[in-house]
Each structure stands twice: as C-alpha cells, then as structure tokens.
Amino acid sequence: MTLNDVKARRPLATPPVAASPFPYNSGSLLSAQHLDLDGISHLLTRATILENQDPLTRARILAKRRIALLFYESSTRTRTSFELAAKSLGADTALVSSLSSSIEKGESLKDTGLTLRALGAEAIILRHPNSGAAWLLESETRLPVLNAGDGMHEHPTQALLDLRTMLAHLRPGVQTITPETLAGVTVSIVGDIFHSRVARSNMLLLPRLGARVILCGPPALLPEIAAQTGPEITIERDFEAALRQSQVVIMLRIQAERLAGLQLDLEEYKAAYQLTGQRLAAFAPTALVLHPGPIIRGLEMTAGVADGPQSAILEQVKNGVAIRMAVVERALTANADSGGRA
Amino acid sequence: MTALIIRGGHLIDPAAGVDTLKDILLKDGHVAGIASPGKLKADEDAEVLDATGLTVAPGLIDMHVHLREPGQGYKETIATGTAAAAAGGFTSVAAMPNTTPVNDSQETTRWMQAPERNAVVRVFPIAAATRGSKGEAINDYAALKAAGAVAVSDDGLTILKDGVMREALAAAARVELTVIQHAEDTRLTRIGDKVASMNAGVAAFRLGLRGWPNEAESAIVERDIRLVQALREAKPHLHVAHISTAASLCAVRTARRNGLRVTCEIAPHHFLLTDEHVGFYDTNAKMCPPLRSGADRDALIEALLDGVIDAIATDHAPHAVHEKEVEFDRAPNGIIGLETALGLSLRWLHHEWKMPLGRVLSLLSAQPAALLNLKGRGTLAVGSFADVVVFDPKAEWTYNARQGRSKAHNTPFDGWTMQGRVRWTISEGRVAYDDLSYRSVQE
C-alpha cells in the first residue's frame, strides 16, 4: 500500500454527535450558552425594571407560585439572593438542604426532584457539588431548573450578574447587548480556573459580546487545554502582564474543597497571583475588580483591594438579586413569553 | 440429539478459508458435514433451516463480558446475559471475574458453568488473576484452568505492582493461560476521593469533569510489555483489554514486531464514539476506559483496518436503570454491547469503512477463539462445535434497547441503525435464538 492509498481512504465517515436536547423546559437556565443575546438583553432589561418597581406591585408577579431551593452545598450569596428574588416576586419558597433532608438518608437527586415536583414546586433552583447535576434534574423532572452552580461546571446567574456589573461601569445605560457591546474589553479571570464554575460560565459568555478573555493562574489550577474551550480565550501565566491588558479583573477563590489532594504552596501562590494594592496601582490602575465570593482576604486579594475604590464586589452581590429576579420571573413565565431561548 | 441442516446459505468461515454457498449438517453438537447446495446426504429426521439469501458463519465469540453472577443478579444473570448474547449472534462469551464474590476460586468458576445457570450459549469464565482481585497475591492458575477458566484478569482493576504482574505473567505462561490486563494507572485517574469520569481533554474541561489521561492506559501497557520482554523465554501471553489510545496501540505494534505475544481487543464504542458523544452528561457514554478524542478514535479505526487489533469484544457491562440515572461522576462505568456488536460492526466496519465481511467475522469469532485457545470454536470445519450464526447481511434494523434480551438497557446505541439481522443462533447444535419475526418481514 502506498502513502496515497492511505490518504485516499481518509476521511472516513464516523457517527455524528446528536444535537443536545437541553433545555427541555424553556424556563430553565442551565447554562448562559442556552440564552441568545436577545434573551440576555431581555433579562438585563427586566432586572432593571424589577429592581425599580414598587415592591407591592412586584410581589404580584409570581404571587403564591411555588419555588424550591435545593442546595447540596453551602452558600450565602447565591442562596439568599435567589430566595430574596423569588420572594420579591411574591413566590413561596421552600429550602431543602442536603444536611436536613432525606438526602442524608440516601435519596437520589432524581427522587428528590420528583418529590419536590409532587409537592407542587413549579421550578427548582439547584446548587450541587457534581458537574451536570442541573442537567440530570431537568431531564428527570422537566421542570424549569435554575442552575445555581453545578460542581466545577457552570454558574450562569453569576456570569449574568458579572455582566450587569461590567456594563454599569464600562457601558453605562446599555441593556441591549450585541456581539460588539464589549469589543475592545479584556477581562482577566485569575486564580483557580480549573475548579471554577464562575470561570467557565464567564469565559463562554463574554466573548459572545466581543470581549477578550485572559485566563491567568499556575498550571496546576489552569491546564493549557482551557484555552480551547471557546473563541477569544488565551492563557497568560504572568499576572502582571495580564493586569496590564485588562479593563476588568475577576479574582477567584482557591477552592480547598475541590483540590483533591493537590498540593499548593500558598506562599508561592500569593507571591505570583495575589491582587495587592501595589500591583493594581502599577499595572491596572483603572480596572474594575470583581470577585464572586466568598473572598479569603489576604489570600487571593488583600483587604485593601477588596474594600478599595476599584472593587465592585458588593455591587455584584446587589446585582445578583436583580438578575435573579429576572431569571426566576422568566422561569415561571417563559411558556407565555418564549423570548430568551436560544 | 436431533440433526439440523442449514440449507442454501452463503458460508463464510474465515479460519477454513471458505466463502461460498454451502449446506451444513449439524449432528450431536458438532459440524457433521459440509457440501455444495443440495449435495448433503439427506438425514431423514433432520430439521431443515432455509438460509437462502443469508450468511452462515461460525458463532461469534465475545472474549470480554460481565454477566454479573454470582452476586449482582439485579443487573444481569447468566441466563439473561447469554440470551442477549444469542440474540446478538454470539455462541461463546468469556465472563470477567468482578462478581460478588470475585471469581478467584474453582468453586465459583464451576458454579458459573453449571447447568442450573440456564445459559443458552457457552460461558467461559475468566478467573481473577489475584486473590480477590486485590492485586497482591496471585491465584492458583492450574487449579482455575482445571475448573474451566480460559484466562486470568483482574478486569475493572489493574495489577499495578510490577512484581505481582511479573509473577502473574510467569505463572500463567506455565499453564498456558492468557493474562488480560485492564490497563489503568489509578495513580493518574483516582486522586484522593476524586475519580476521573471521562477522557482528559477539552470536552472534560468544558463539562467540569475530571479527566482520565491517555498515559494512564499506555503507561501500564508499556510496563506490561517490558515484563513480557523480560520473561520472553517463558513465552507469556499478554492481552490488552479494551484498548483505547493511539499510544497503547503503538506499544502493542512495537512489541509484536519484537516477536512478543502481545494482543489486544477493541470495543465497538471505542472505534465509533468520541468524548464529544458524552454530550451533556450522558451516563450511557460513561465507561472505563472512557470514550477518547477524535484523534485516538481515528487511530483505533486505522489499526482495526490495518490488522493490529486482534479482536472485537463488547465489554458488555449491564447496570440497573437506577444506577445510571445519577450524577455523571457517581454513575458506574460501562454499557451493554452483546446485541449491537454485529450490527454496528457490519454497519460501520464493513459497509462504511469497507472491511471485507470475512475479516469482520474473523475479529468476532476465529481470532478471539485463538486468543483464548478455544478448541473447535471460531470455525465450522467438520468436527468443530456446532456453533453457528445465520444472519441477513443486508438487512437494516433499528435497535431498541428496551426490547433487548439483556436485563439492562444502558447503551448509547439505542435507536441506532444496525446492519445485519441475526436469523438464528445455534449453540452446540441447539437453536439458542430464533428471530420469529424475520419470516413475516421477508414475506
């Protein structure tokens, strides 16, 4: 057989990959990838309207509708803001957490989901330590499922509230987004990228608005393959070089609960990647500093930076409630108003 | 025992070099005669199967299945697993020892072959290589072979310790048994309490799942080959189970060039699917080793076409429905495969990639028979066991997992188009599978 014969038999047809059936429910938000730009614009617009609406009027939108919060991991910000968002719209919420429920007795996610549905839950907000858990819950219950963080995978409402925070500073007044809205903007995501659902949701969302994403961290927390996740994603190991290019810096927490035996020298890490006042002043004196929380002060950033003028960390928290009101509203009204589904 | 005549079929027996129209007489569990159509001396009380338009071939042999008995009958039993085998055209299956208890004894090896198990095709136990498959102390291979074991393996687990693997290869060589290794360096795939659940690559990164690197397989294959090389005077036979990476293939190729007895098998899912087929956490696409990258898959196809791969084996791994309806990380590994191996192989290897039919059948019968040293199987030469599959090589059909004979339905191939419909499967002269619907379809 000659080389030409070998070439002649390529390429061979191989079985195609089936199109994803997700989301099954148009009210679900599993991934920001499931939203087209019109859908995101709609959520941003609704977030602003709902935020400014009279509380008594707002409370009629989902009056007495039932929403379950199913939390298999601890959470302060996400849980509270989803709960406040749902209640602001008038919904009844029920919190089920893994430590005070039949989950402790070994009940599966499927059975827990079906039980909540039988109890009348019309949507489920899920936080879970396993990647993909929201996909499983949605396919088994077919309810609107809002992904409040699945393992190392995605945290779409965090990406949306980060986007709202960025727009407020970089593009004030803009709520209708296009593929050029963030053209010319570079966002660095710094730290434990590998274990971060915040990083994954942001790096897939921001380039769709024209932003460039720099991932920055040591190889143990940022494998080379991360750059292939999507377009406009590059890796920069040198923190200061990344800062120099950035209009936005998203700092991440080292996730001790997911390190799985990985040995990390924290002093070395801080020397290379801690965001200090000096570094910020020297290399990114006008950049917006974000952090999804919880912050470990003195590790990924100094207290001075967290509390400093460039920090928008508490704005992010506030935006979380507004974005989650819009997302919860969409979950229970999506069938009447199908806008927003990609 | 009654006699059977299969008339008018196209006999393909790669081991005997036959590829033409023949009638076959089966008597007393063996092939009693082969002749040109109409030339067989009529046996008056013989039952006649009309195979006009059909292909007649040696019954298929799957050298890697999990029948789940003893101990895990809720997933599959020897009866249901062999019924699935027969429906898929298989007349022999080699059953892995990761049962409860682990099959590391003569007692369990015999239990699996006892008539009370109601197997409809022949079951050949593969015994554990080490006590309890713990990878520490090797078993008594002579005793296991005497009880019917056809190979030894700790499948599902890897013999990690160099000294233990060396001893296993040497001891198996003394009694002419094959050592089948599930090659996975768990130091690279299980870190702390975190277990890699899919191929390391961009798909795993995107899905937030921990990756199983290629080197975890090839490092063990390479280590094992060094041990075979060191023991070459003893002529050990190393067989690499479910090979899945280009690097492992490369090591096998080189070993063979150096005259070592190193062989390998491939599962249909590894030559058909890639890590992209995991989609969004489809637990029916979770197996060990995992579905690999497109580049690895293409290398596997090429190796199949080039003849580097010795056999197609399904790694039939049934699980109960509730076990797979869980978070991807928590789902058990494995898919069923007995009822789809022939249909997928004919559809893709033969029809799409143009591998001659005889070669496809050889990978599914003659070659695994030789690897496990199953005398009188994998061929239909006169005197062989009357293990036969009769199928329509042109018929296309749609696989419906829920209608299968296996207890389990965990497969990514549900709803796929298959080619080559099994009409009859005959195990040692008895009809083990008869597709009664076939006649009506034809008429």
Residues of B with catalytic roles: 315
With an 8 Å Cβ cutoff, the interface of chain A facing chain B consists of 9, 12-15, 17-18, 20, 22, 108-110, 128, 130-133, 135-136, 140, 150-154, 194, 197, 200, 223, 225-226, 228-229, 258, 260-262
What residues have CB less than 8 Å from B301, skipping those under 6 apart?
A12, A14, B271, B353
Q: Are A323 and A48 in contact (CB under 8 A)?
A: no
CB-based contact B19:B364 (threshold 8 Å): no
Does residue B378 form part of some domain? no
As a whole number of Å, the end-to-end CA separation of chain B is: 31
What's the whole-number mean pLDDT along residues A85-89? Answer: 98
- Clarify whether residues B84 and B137 are in a common domain: yes
Q: What does the alpha-carbon distance between residue A314 and residue A238 come to, in Å, rounded to a whole number? A: 27
Residue A126: list chain B partners with CB under 8 A: none
Say yes or no: A138 and A215 in one domain.
no
SS3 A341: strand
Residues A217, A303 within the same domain: yes
Question: What CATH number did the domain enclosing A91 receive?
Answer: 3.40.50.1370
Together in a domain, B290 and B337: yes
Contact between chains at A132 and B208 (C-beta distance less than 8 A)? yes
- pLDDT of residue A6 exceeding 50, the answer is no
Chain A residues with beta carbon closer than 8 angstroms to that of B281: 131-132, 135-136
- Is the domain of A137 the same as that of A168? no
For residue B223, being part of any structural domain is answered with yes
Residue A10 lies in a domain: no
Query: Is B116 a member of any domain?
Result: yes
Q: Is residue B310 part of a domain?
A: yes
A334 falls within a domain: no
A261 pLDDT tier (thresholds 50, 70, 90): low
ipTM over 0.90: yes
Whether residue A262 sits in one domain with residue A116: no
Q: Which residues of B touch A136 (CB under 8 A)?
A: 281, 325-328
Closest CB to A12: pick one of B193, B276, B301.
B301
Shared domain check, A106 and A90: yes
Residue with tokens 């069923």: B336
The parent domain of residue B39 ranges over 4-56+385-442
Token output for B158: 């890897």
Pairwise CB contact (< 8 Å): B277 & A17? yes
Residue A271 lies in a domain: yes
Q: What is the CATH number of the domain that holds B116?
A: 3.20.20.140
Nearest-by-Cβ selection for A225 from B192, B194, B202: B202
Candidate from B193, B209, B353 with C-beta closest to A131: B209
Would A257 be classed as within a structural domain? yes
- With tokens 């995991």, the residue in question is B278
Q: What is the number of structural domains in chain A?
A: 2
Q: How many domains does chain B have?
A: 2
Strands B198-199 and B211-212: parallel
A248 and A190 co-located in one domain: yes
Mark whether B98 and B231 lie in a shared domain: yes
Option in A9, A22, A152 nearest B280 (CB) = A22
CB spacing of B348 vs A225 below 8 angstroms: no
Residues B78 and B51 in one domain: no
* In-domain check, residue B379: no
What residue of A is the nearest CA neighbor of B353? A12
**Is residue B192 located within the same domain as residue B155?**
yes
A229 within domain boundaries: yes
Q: Say yes or no: A323 and A305 in one domain.
A: no
Of the candidates B191, B200, B329, which has its C-beta nearest A261's C-beta? B191
Residue-range definition of the domain harbouring residue A61? 32-154+319-328
- Angle at the Cα of B367 from the Cα atoms of B364 and B368, rounded to 5 degrees: 70
Whether residue A249 is contained in a domain is answered as yes
Nearest CA-CA distance, residue B317 and chain A, Å: 22
Q: Average pLDDT, whole number, for chain A?
A: 93
Q: Are residues B63 and B52 in the same domain?
A: no
What pLDDT score does A336 carry? 47
Tell me, yes or no, whether A233 lies in a domain. yes
Assign A249 to helix, strand or coil.
strand
Query: pLDDT tens across A250-259, in order?
Result: 999 988 777 7
Is residue B229, in this structure, part of any structural domain at all? yes
Query: Are B183 and B254 in the same domain?
Result: yes
Domain end (from B371, B403, B431): B371
CB contact under 8 A, A151 and B192: no
Q: How far is A147 from chain B (nearest CA, A)?
A: 14
pLDDT score recorded for residue B409 = 97
User: What's the average pLDDT block by block, 10 residues per block, for chain B (443 residues)?
Assistant: 91 97 97 93 84 97 98 98 98 98 98 98 98 98 98 97 98 98 96 90 97 97 98 98 98 97 98 98 98 97 96 98 97 98 98 97 98 98 98 96 97 97 97 83 47
Q: Are residues A254 and A267 in the same domain?
A: yes
**Inter-chain residue contact B208 with A136, CB threshold 8 Å:** no
Residues A122, A269, single domain; the answer is no
Residue A139 falls within a domain, yes or no? yes
Answer whether A132 sits within 8 Å of B328, measured CB to CB.
yes
- Please answer yes or no on whether B191 and A262 come within 8 Å at the CB atom: yes
Residues A167 and A266 in one domain: yes
Whether residues B265 and B406 fall in one domain: no
B376 occurs within a structural domain: no
Domain termination residue (choose one: B311, B346, B371): B371
Q: Which residues of chain B make contact with A18, given a CB cutoff of 8 A?
A: 279
- The verdict on a CB contact (< 8 Å) between A109 and B205 is no
Cα angle A195-A197-A202, degrees, rounded to a multiple of 5: 125
The reply to whether B123 and B40 lie within a common domain is no
Answer whether B152's CB lies under 8 Å from B172's CB: yes
Q: Is residue B377 part of a domain?
A: no
Q: Which residues of B touch A9 (CB under 8 A)?
A: 305, 354
**Residues A15-44 pLDDT 10s:** 999 999 999 999 999 999 999 999 999 999
> Once rounded to an integer, what is the mean pLDDT over residues A201-221?
97
Cβ contacts of A286 within 8 Å, gap of 6 or more = A247, A310
> Do residue A213 and residue A295 come from a single domain?
yes
Within this chain, do residues B284 and B421 fall inside the same structural domain, yes or no?
no
Same-domain check for residues B96 and B129: yes
Q: Do the Cβ atoms of B280 and A130 come within 8 Å?
A: no
Residue A76: burial class (beta carbons within 10 Å; 0-12, 13-18, 19+): exposed
Whether residues B127 and B36 share a domain: the answer is: no
**A73 and A165: one domain?**
no
